[in-house]
């Protein structure tokens, strides 16, 4: 029954359709019991499959062979291929070194072995003979020489330091994150242009002689959306990872300089706008600092547009 | 055979058979890549290449290396973007290995087989012509490597949703000096 289910059951999403005779004709059965039986059987087979080499090896011997593969400077070589060949039987086994350069064959029948180390960028190294004892482990370390031919110029010959020539995944991840955040900054910046333009247009219905209370409210609401989107846009540039040792050159200098105008402007404009709104709501004429709301808003909008233009011709 | 003649013979024989060793070092140089887009052209230049050449038994082996981040297109934002798309954080160097016959060094036009490692990839360019001019002991080499972004599995960056062209020729101007 369990085998039938395993072989004939058709998996559809999370449900298994029972195509066995019992299932089709509604005979009593316990699906959970069948499933457990099936799992139990599978585990038994799996355990036997996993343990059988060890059981066989136990009969042959309990020796082991281990070691570490390094380069000429002593640094571990990961993913090096280690091959051991039994001198008597000719049986060959292979293993790859881990990140720390170590490898281990265990258990290994005692006897004499030939050991070969191979890794990309290195000359192959072969140890003609080593003895694996019946009990305990033999240690064979491999020191690999660079594949570079004798006399062939190398980066070291050119005077580059390891810091200059060795890259890192972390450095690349920082660059990737920076690019990703700046792409979002660019896209959000473009999108923010729409509410910014709308706010400027709607200011006519809020501040002109024909301005109404509802016009002021709509202007204030759209202005608030603009300020919110602007701050979100700016945060992606401000918090993008900085890459050390890269001085700012070219159009981005103007782009950054203009941020010192539209940045404070985008904070000041809503504050002045709120003051103006309050004065108008009280039936007063806009006066004092609030009178600068329109001018500050216009300068902010112009600086923002100029900042966009300063970087638009680039990739 | 008297002793002085024997000594002279022993001294000169290896050089006559295997050819004398010579070494070259890279002096002032400029490597520049050219990127084309329907709306824009840009050029990034590096003057930080270092190189060494070793000639032995008539065969010369030259190695030129340059940090990816040393290319300057007069726009730091673009340079950092270039560094990112070319995986310069993980693979910070461009290396060029050139194998050629020592006798070819005397030709006005040298055809070189290049092996370039860049962006974690290796590309081979066969028989790339370079012009050679001798200035005293110095040799000035100029030419263009017909590189493409696809050769190094680099996704072309885009401007306004239009990607740059695949061809990124690299102009080479180098001065080599004997060591």
Closest chain A CA to residue B49: A158
A227 and A101 share one domain: no
End position of a domain, from candidates A11, A35, A58 = A58
Residue A66 pLDDT greater than 60, yes or no = yes
Span A109-117, mean pLDDT? 90
Residue A59 pLDDT greater than 50, yes or no = no
Write down the mean pLDDT value for chain A: 79
A230 and A291 share one domain: yes
Span A270-287, mean pLDDT? 90
CB contact under 8 A, A250 and B88: no
B44 CB-side CA count, 13 A: 24
Span B124-149, mean pLDDT? 94
Domains in chain B with CATH codes: 19-178 (2.40.128.110)
A50 and A173 share one domain: no
ipTM: 0.81
CB contact under 8 A, B50 and A172: no
Residue A163 falls within a domain, yes or no? no
Looking at CA atoms only, how far is residue A251 from chain B in angstroms? 7
Q: A113 versus A36: which is more confidently predicted?
A: A113
End position of a domain, from candidates A21, A36, A58 = A58
Residue A125 falls within a domain, yes or no? yes
A47 and A69 share one domain: no
A48 and A101 share one domain: no
A177 and A274 share one domain: yes
Query: What is the number of structural domains in chain A?
Result: 3
A295 and A174 share one domain: yes
Containing domain of residue A264, as a range? 169-312
Write down the mean pLDDT value for chain B: 87
Residue A134 falls within a domain, yes or no? yes
pLDDT of the residue at A25 = 39
A308 and A209 share one domain: yes
**B18 to B6, B7, B22, B77: CA distances (angstroms):** 19, 18, 12, 52
Binning pLDDT at 50, 70 and 90, where does residue A148 land?
low
**A218 to A20, A221, A268, A300, B153: CA distances (angstroms):** 69, 5, 19, 19, 51
A193 and A271 share one domain: yes
**For residue A158, which residues of chain B lie inside 8 Å, CB to CB?**
50-52, 63, 65
**For residue B51, which residues of chain A lie inside 8 Å, CB to CB?**
153, 158
**Within an 8 Å CB–CB cutoff, is residue B137 touching chain A?**
no
**Within an 8 Å CB–CB cutoff, is residue A169 touching chain B?**
yes
A92 and A45 share one domain: no
A190 and A102 share one domain: no
pTM for the full predicted model: 0.64
Looking at CA atoms only, how far is residue B77 from chain A in angstroms? 7
**For residue A165, which residues of chain B lie inside 8 Å, CB to CB?**
65, 92-93
Distance between CA atoms of B12 and B29, rounded to whole angstroms? 36
pLDDT in tens, B3-48: 555 454 444 444 443 445 889 999 999 999 999 988 888 999 999 9
Contact B28, B167 (CB under 8 A): no
A96 and A195 share one domain: no
Q: Poorest-confidence range of A135-139, A208-212, B21-25?
A: A208-212
For A:275-294, CB contacts with B below 8 A are none
Closest chain A CA to residue B25: A158
**Within an 8 Å CB–CB cutoff, is residue A12 touching chain B?**
no
The CATH number of the domain holding residue A112 is 2.60.40.1120
**Within an 8 Å CB–CB cutoff, is residue A243 touching chain B?**
yes
**Within an 8 Å CB–CB cutoff, is residue B95 touching chain A?**
yes
Contact A293, A274 (CB under 8 A): no
């Amino acid at each position: 029954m369990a085998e039938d289910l395993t072989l004939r059951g058709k998996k559809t999403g999370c449900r298994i359709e029972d195509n066995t005779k019992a299932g089709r004709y509604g005979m009593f059965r316990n699906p959970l019991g069948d499933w457990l039986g099936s799992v139990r059987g599978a585990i038994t087979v799996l355990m036997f499959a996993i343990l059988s080499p060890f059981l066989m090896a136990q009969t042959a011997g309990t020796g082991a062979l281990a070691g570490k593969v390094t380069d000429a400077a002593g640094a571990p070589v990961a993913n090096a291929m280690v091959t051991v060949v039994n001198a008597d039987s000719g049986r060959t086994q292979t293993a790859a070194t881990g990140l720390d350069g170590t490898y281990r064959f265990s258990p290994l029948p005692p006897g004499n072995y030939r050991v070969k180390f191979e890794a990309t960028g290195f000359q192959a190294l072969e140890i003609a003979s080593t003895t694996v004892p019946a009990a305990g482990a033999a240690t064979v370390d491999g020191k690999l020489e660079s594949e570079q031919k004798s006399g062939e110029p190398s980066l070291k010959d050119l005077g580059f330091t390891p810091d200059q020539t060795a890259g890192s995944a972390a450095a690349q991840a920082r660059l990737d994150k920076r690019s990703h955040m700046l792409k979002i900054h660019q896209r959000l910046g473009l999108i923010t242009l729409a509410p910014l333009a709308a706010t400027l247009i709607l200011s006519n219905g809020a501040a002109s002689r024909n301005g109404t209370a509802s016009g002021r409210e709509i202007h204030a609401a759209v202005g608030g959306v603009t300020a919110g989107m602007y701050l979100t846009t700016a945060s992606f540039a401000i918090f993008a990872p900085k890459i050390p040792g890269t001085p700012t050159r070219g159009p981005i200098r103007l782009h950054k300089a203009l941020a010192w105008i539209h940045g404070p402007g985008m904070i000041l404009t809503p504050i002045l706008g709120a003051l103006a709104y309050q004065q108008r709501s009280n039936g007063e004429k806009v006066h004092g600092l609030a009178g600068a709301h329109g001018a500050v808003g216009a300068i902010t909008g112009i600086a923002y547009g100029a900042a966009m233009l300063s970087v638009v011709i680039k990739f | 055979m008297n002793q002085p003649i024997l000594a002279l013979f022993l001294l000169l024989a290896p050089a006559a058979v295997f050819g004398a060793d010579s070494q070259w070092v890279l002096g002032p140089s400029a490597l520049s890549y050219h990127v084309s887009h329907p709306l824009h052209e840009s050029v990034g230049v590096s003057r930080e290449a270092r190189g060494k050449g070793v000639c032995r038994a008539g065969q010369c082996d030259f190695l030129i290396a340059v940090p990816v981040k040393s290319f300057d297109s007069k726009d730091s934002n673009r340079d950092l973007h270039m560094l990112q798309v070319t995986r310069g954080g993980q693979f910070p160097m461009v290396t060029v290995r050139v194998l050629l016959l020592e006798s070819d060094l005397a030709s006005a036009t040298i055809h070189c087989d290049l092996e370039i490692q860049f962006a974690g990839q290796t590309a081979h360019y066969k028989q790339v012509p370079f012009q050679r001019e001798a200035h005293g002991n110095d040799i000035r080499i100029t030419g263009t490597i017909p590189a493409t972004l696809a050769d190094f599995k680099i996704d072309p960056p885009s401007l306004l949703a239009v990607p740059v062209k695949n061809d990124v020729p690299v102009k080479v101007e180098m001065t080599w000096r004997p060591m």
